[in-house]
Chains A and B, each alone.
Chain A
Amino acid sequence: MTQPAPDRRTTELATVFVDLRTALGRVLIGKDDAATGLTLALLAEQHAYLEGPPGCGKSELAADLAALSGARTHTLVFHRDIRESDLLGDVLLSRHRHRGHERLRRELIPGPLLQAEVALLEDLPRSPGEALGPLLRILAERHALGQPLPLESAVATGPLEQVEAPIDPLEPGQLDRFAVQLRLTGLLTGGLFDEAAVLLEREAARESSRAGVRAAAGSGHAPAAANAAPRAAVMNTTTRNAAQRAAAALRVEPRTIDAYHRLLDRLRQRSADESASGDRLMSDRSFSSAALRLVRAHAFLRGAPAAAPRDLGAIRYMVAHRLPEEVQEDFDHILEELLGDPPNVTMTETGAQMPGAQSQGDDSDGAAAASSASDSWIDDQADLPAPPTLFGKPPPPAQVDPLLRALVGRIERGRIDPDTDPGGQPRGYRPLRDLDEVIDADVIEALLFTEGRLPGAPRTFERKRRSAGGAVAVLRDISASMAGRLTVWSSQVVLGILRVAARRRMRVGYVEFHHRALPHQVGGRLLHRSYSRLAEQAGQAKAVGQTNYEAPLRTALEGLRGGSGRNRHIVLLTDGLPIIGDTSVRRERQLARRLGVALHTVFLGNGDCPPVLDDISLETGGLRFCGRPLAGGGLRLEER
């Protein structure tokens, strides 16, 4: 940390990265924020996670970063059956004769991933947790097989967390390895029709310039194909590494550190306000070293001699999975407030013009030009569309968490352990039982086995699949007394349950009730897997009529009756005493017991919980919850 002001060399290095940023921005229309985030990640030598809906250009952006950076790259497409040797490298099996017996040793030869400077990890969440473990450790430690890795940045892509996707999302702890987290939106679904028109025009102008190069014709996203040639690198490894070193050594102004402390306080506070589970993931790892590297990189890119408070804007590229969504959306606002004035009021130039602007200046002007041009790094974000949320509505606030957690516990308890299934995920090893399984066997052991050197059978993957069975029906009181806050709240409970069910591919049913039961059927069935459609309906409920427990319970139980198996649940959401129908629902309780259906009851409101709800839950082994409205809004949820 010796250099106070940027010299010519530093400015040149910054320019190279600005060029990278500009070129990346041209790759995809309307993805400037992602281009900036990736540039910062590479400059700060941090890993990045890109998520977005299919076909929005994630993979292409990542591939272009790799190509433009001139780094040695390895691409790994993750899938269910990925093996250790795909991640690490080939096996070296050595045999040494040693006093009349043979000693076998097994080593790994570092594979291409371990030699890569930029690693592209496509569809990362598709791989089973077992394979991810070693990989993520390597990413964190940048060390494998006893050697330091040349790895600078790993860029992973993954789908948007979506209810109907059959894969489990990465856990926050796994995602934390990726300091930069970016969410892309589609132009169409993001409503960016002007940008869409530009893309259409580009496509319409496309001619088959590559007769015979069929491979490229259908590949990827259009803009890359528009300039069909692979992107030429804008830098080499020496430049890149020099820039990375220079950026890492940049001084951070004391007022920046002070502002950062205050920013963290604010983020922590806001996250705690928004969510009972508090900060989602503000780990020390990310918010100390990685964050400050990004802040420095941001300053470096501006051509600034030291990291100023405004460079804290770089933190916005870290928050996608670390803060509650409300806080993410508000990030720019929070930062602005903290810094006093909006940081980008006098922005005129764009980053793309920077090299030109700079070439006119002498030494000191060069730096000035760089810093004026770089205001756009912050401005890029001004019109960032709100990140997409589940079902297009805000996620359930924390108040429903206790209920969902308890319910998930019950559902998991009721689920059968993963079944052995040849199409399932590898979940450990077991001895080979059948020659068919040799395809899944450990390569080395199979080899030794065939040579008669292995005492016993080789190990093979034990594949298991979670049974997709089970069903949950939500019965929701929409009688007149549920109007207002309770309606909103119970919508959120329903959405939460749908999400829980969708992840486990349980069938769901949804019955609204007042004096009558109003089942929402799809294709004539109460129980189905059209989660999104139910989610839409759950958001539209209106409160009318009086309360009847019998009708909805009967409807739901009839729906569950046809199926079989364990793990069937009914969740009854209500705020009142039943007035119509059999108020003690004797027959339904009996039927539920016979079918082995757990009836969970949730009573909402300040009044006394009707004893019949307790009876229902106790008899069928269901959960009992009650939600008390709080004076200042919100609801306190506790077990009865």
Chain B
Amino acid sequence: MSDLTPLHDLLDHHVVGHDEVKTALLLALITREHIYVEGPPGTAKTRLAEVAARGSDLDFFFYQLHRDTRLAELVGDIVLERRKVQTDGAAPGTAGEAERIHQRIEPGGLLTAEIAVLDDISRAPGEALNVLLRILNERRFGAEPIPLMAAIATGNPMDDEYYNEPLDPANLDRFALQLRVSGLIQSGVDEAKTLIDRFAAGSVVEQPDPAPVTDRATLDALNQRMYEVEVGAAVRAALLDVLRTLVLEFECNETNSLLTDRTFLVKAIKILRGAALLAGRDTVDLPDLAALSWMTTFRVPPEAHEALPRIIGRVSRQIQAV
């Protein structure tokens, strides 16, 4: 498989099920894209994020967002600098000493981390997040590039009962990968049994923080290799056909969707390359298009998102037939 198998194993060791989220987390680390995981409380969202972050031996920043979150809490301390200056005394009686006061931010938190876990991002007021998400997007603060590789955000479903305001759609767009998780027990999948068995055996209760199983060099090398993965004309044509279908058949437009050029024409190529690399290939194949459904979760209307595997299947068959 890939060089990230140890990390995948580590995730398996700590969290039962949620295979899609695990793969998507690895994909985020390879492609250096941000990921947003939404699900009801108690579905191991934060745990998954934490294990992935700690397991990769990167500078780690964890922040629990809340209603009053301010920028300063995320980016470091606000520092007031005071400097003595001499005034020229142009106006009568004003010669003498003066102080120049300058407010700046001493970088910390998100600005110095390589991987960030932003827990409960939907609890922060949508608008306060604007600058944070811009930093995530541009990976720079002011003129300074920041070392951040990926941010993993979690959130609760945007229903009324969770008392949070929906994230601004433009803000959600900063997270290239978006997944929805549901509880194992609630959805009645087989893994629910495994989960209960594991707790019955008492092996999960006192788990220490995971030790790193991969490192920055490995991730850097993978990121380099990602750019060598070939994206052929057939895959590009298929991708465009899928997007065309979303726009023309499912009527995705600016008001009901976030079908942005940045995400689906630029980042999608990276995600496809990463998916191929995770599968151990150096060429993107048509089945890799399945990774697109990790990008559409909150970007297109639910019916279009659900139809995506079908659309991809149909488009792939047409392309293969040609």
A residues adjacent to B (C-beta < 8 A): 53-57, 77, 79-81, 85, 90-98, 103, 105, 109, 122-123, 126, 159-160, 162-167, 185-189, 191, 193, 196-197, 199-201, 203-204, 206-208, 211-222, 388, 390-392, 422-425, 439, 443-444, 447, 465, 468, 505, 523, 525, 528-529, 532-533, 535-536
Does B307 sit within 8 A of A, measured CB to CB?
Answer: no
In order of increasing CB-CB distance, the 9 nearest A-B pairs are A215-B145, A55-B260, A55-B262, A94-B98, A208-B227, A204-B231, A423-B125, A54-B170, A222-B266
Q: Is the CB of A218 within 8 A of B100?
A: no
Which residue of B67, B87, B128, B224 contacts A211 across the interface (Cβ within 8 Å)?
B224
In the complex where A53-B254, A188-B261, A388-B254 touch, is A196 in contact with B70 (Cβ < 8 A)?
no
The 0/1 profile, CB within 8 Å of A marked 1, for residues 211-254 of chain B is 00000000010011011101100001101100110011001111
Q: Is the CB of B260 within 8 A of A109?
A: no
Cβ–Cβ < 8 Å partners of A213 in chain B: 145
Q: Is the CB of A81 within 8 A of B173?
A: no
Which residue of B173, B239, B255, B263 contacts A200 across the interface (Cβ within 8 Å)?
B239
Q: How far is the CA of A391 from the CA of B255 in the complex (A)?
A: 6
In the complex where A54-B260, A98-B93, A443-B80 touch, is A197 in contact with B236 (Cβ < 8 A)?
yes
Q: Is the CB of B98 within 8 A of A203?
A: no
Which residue of A159, A189, A218, A525 contacts B137 across the interface (Cβ within 8 Å)?
A218
In the complex where A97-B96, A200-B240 touch, is A90 in contact with B261 (Cβ < 8 A)?
no
Q: How far is the CA of A542 from the CA of B284 in the complex (A)?
A: 47
Q: How far is the CA of A81 from the CA of B243 in the complex (A)?
A: 37
**CB-nearest residue of chain A to B262:** A55
Does B269 sit within 8 A of A, measured CB to CB?
Answer: yes
Does B197 sit within 8 A of A, measured CB to CB?
Answer: no
Q: How far is the CA of A187 from the CA of B254 in the complex (A)?
A: 11
Which residue of B130, B139, B231, B261 contacts A57 across the interface (Cβ within 8 Å)?
B261
Q: How far is the CA of A388 from the CA of B227 in the complex (A)?
A: 35
In the complex where A77-B131, A388-B253 touch, is A53 in contact with B70 (Cβ < 8 A)?
no
Interface secondary structure of A, over-half rule: mixed
Q: Is the CB of A207 within 8 A of B228?
A: yes
**CB-nearest residue of chain B to A186:** B261
Does B204 sit within 8 A of A, measured CB to CB?
Answer: no
Cβ–Cβ < 8 Å partners of B224 in chain A: 208, 211
B residues adjacent to A (C-beta < 8 A): 32-33, 67-72, 78, 80, 82, 85, 87, 93-103, 124-128, 130-131, 134, 137-140, 145-147, 149, 159-160, 165-166, 168-170, 173, 220, 223-224, 226-228, 230-231, 236-237, 239-240, 243-244, 247-248, 251-266, 269, 301
Q: How far is the CA of A218 from the CA of B85 in the complex (A)?
A: 42
5 new A-B pairs (CB below 8 Å) besides A186-B259, A200-B240, A439-B70? A54-B260, A90-B101, A98-B93, A109-B100, A196-B243
**CB-nearest residue of chain B to A220:** B138
Identify 11 residue pairs between A and B in the complex whose beta-carbon atoms are under 8 Å apart, listed by A's number. A54-B169, A56-B260, A79-B128, A81-B70, A165-B168, A197-B237, A200-B269, A203-B269, A222-B262, A444-B101, A447-B101
Which residue of A122, A206, A217, A392 contacts B253 across the interface (Cβ within 8 Å)?
A392
Q: How far is the CA of A449 from the CA of B87 in the complex (A)?
A: 23
CB distance from B32 to the nearest CB of A (A): 6
Q: Is the CB of A199 within 8 A of B165?
A: no
CB distance from B23 to the nearest CB of A (A): 20
Q: Is the CB of A96 within 8 A of B94?
A: yes
**CB-nearest residue of chain A to B127:** A80
Cβ–Cβ < 8 Å partners of B102 in chain A: 90
In the complex where A200-B240, A201-B236, A529-B166 touch, is A54 in contact with B258 (Cβ < 8 A)?
yes
Cβ–Cβ < 8 Å partners of B237 in chain A: 197
In the complex where A80-B128, A91-B100, A159-B170 touch, is A204 in contact with B255 (Cβ < 8 A)?
no
CB distance from B29 to the nearest CB of A (A): 13
Cβ–Cβ < 8 Å partners of B71 in chain A: 79, 81
Q: How far is the CA of A611 from the CA of B146 in the complex (A)?
A: 68
Q: Is the CB of B101 within 8 A of A91?
A: yes
Cβ–Cβ < 8 Å partners of B265 in chain A: 187-188, 196, 199-200, 203, 222
CB distance from B174 to the nearest CB of A (A): 9
Q: Is the CB of B262 within 8 A of A94?
A: no
**CB-nearest residue of chain B to A93:** B99
Q: How far is the CA of A293 from the CA of B264 in the complex (A)?
A: 39
Q: Is the CB of A200 within 8 A of B236?
A: yes
Q: How far is the CA of A199 from the CA of B240 in the complex (A)?
A: 11
Q: How far is the CA of A201 from the CA of B137 in the complex (A)?
A: 23
Cβ–Cβ < 8 Å partners of A216 in chain B: 145
Q: Is the CB of B240 within 8 A of A95?
A: no
Cβ–Cβ < 8 Å partners of B101 in chain A: 90-93, 443-444, 447
CB distance from A105 to the nearest CB of B (A): 7
Q: Is the CB of A423 within 8 A of B255?
A: no
Cβ–Cβ < 8 Å partners of B263 in chain A: 55
Q: Is the CB of A163 within 8 A of B255?
A: yes
Q: Is the CB of B173 within 8 A of A54?
A: yes
Cβ–Cβ < 8 Å partners of B301 in chain A: 533
Q: Is the CB of A166 within 8 A of B126?
A: yes
Cβ–Cβ < 8 Å partners of B146 in chain A: 215
Q: Is the CB of A79 within 8 A of B139?
A: no
Q: Is the CB of A523 within 8 A of B159?
A: yes
Q: Is the CB of A206 within 8 A of B227?
A: yes
Which residue of A103, A217, A423 contacts B32 across the interface (Cβ within 8 Å)?
A217
CB distance from B137 to the nearest CB of A (A): 7
Which residue of A85, A214, A390, A423 contacts B147 across the interface (Cβ within 8 Å)?
A214
Which residue of B103, B226, B240, B260 contacts A197 across the interface (Cβ within 8 Å)?
B240
Cβ–Cβ < 8 Å partners of A219 in chain B: 137-140
Cβ–Cβ < 8 Å partners of B239 in chain A: 200
Cβ–Cβ < 8 Å partners of A109 in chain B: 100
Which residue of B72, B131, B140, B253 contacts A439 across the interface (Cβ within 8 Å)?
B72
**CB-nearest residue of chain B to A388:** B254
Q: Is the CB of B256 within 8 A of A532?
A: yes
Cβ–Cβ < 8 Å partners of A533 in chain B: 256, 301
Q: Is the CB of B260 within 8 A of A166?
A: no
Which residue of A79, A167, A189 contacts B257 across the interface (Cβ within 8 Å)?
A189
Q: Is the CB of A193 within 8 A of B240?
A: yes
Cβ–Cβ < 8 Å partners of B137 in chain A: 218-219
CB distance from A35 to the nearest CB of B (A): 16
Q: How far is the CA of A432 from the CA of B60 in the complex (A)?
A: 35
Q: Is the CB of B32 within 8 A of A214?
A: yes
CB distance from A108 to the nearest CB of B (A): 11
Q: Is the CB of A160 within 8 A of B254?
A: yes
**CB-nearest residue of chain B to A223:** B266
Q: Is the CB of B145 within 8 A of A54?
A: no
Q: How far is the CA of A122 from the CA of B130 in the complex (A)?
A: 11
In the complex where A56-B261, A164-B169, A208-B224 touch, is A423 in contact with B266 (Cβ < 8 A)?
no
Q: Is the CB of A96 within 8 A of B95?
A: yes
CB distance from B276 to the nearest CB of A (A): 12
Q: Is the CB of B139 within 8 A of A221?
A: no
Q: Is the CB of B98 within 8 A of A92?
A: yes
Cβ–Cβ < 8 Å partners of A57 in chain B: 261-262
Q: How far is the CA of A166 from the CA of B164 in the complex (A)?
A: 13
Q: How far is the CA of A33 from the CA of B25 in the complex (A)?
A: 40
Which residue of A56, A200, A388, A465 contacts B262 across the interface (Cβ within 8 Å)?
A56
Q: How far is the CA of A207 from the CA of B251 in the complex (A)?
A: 33
Cβ–Cβ < 8 Å partners of B254 in chain A: 53, 160, 162, 185-186, 189, 388, 392
Q: How far is the CA of A94 from the CA of B67 in the complex (A)?
A: 38
Which residue of A97, A188, A206, A212 contacts B259 across the interface (Cβ within 8 Å)?
A188
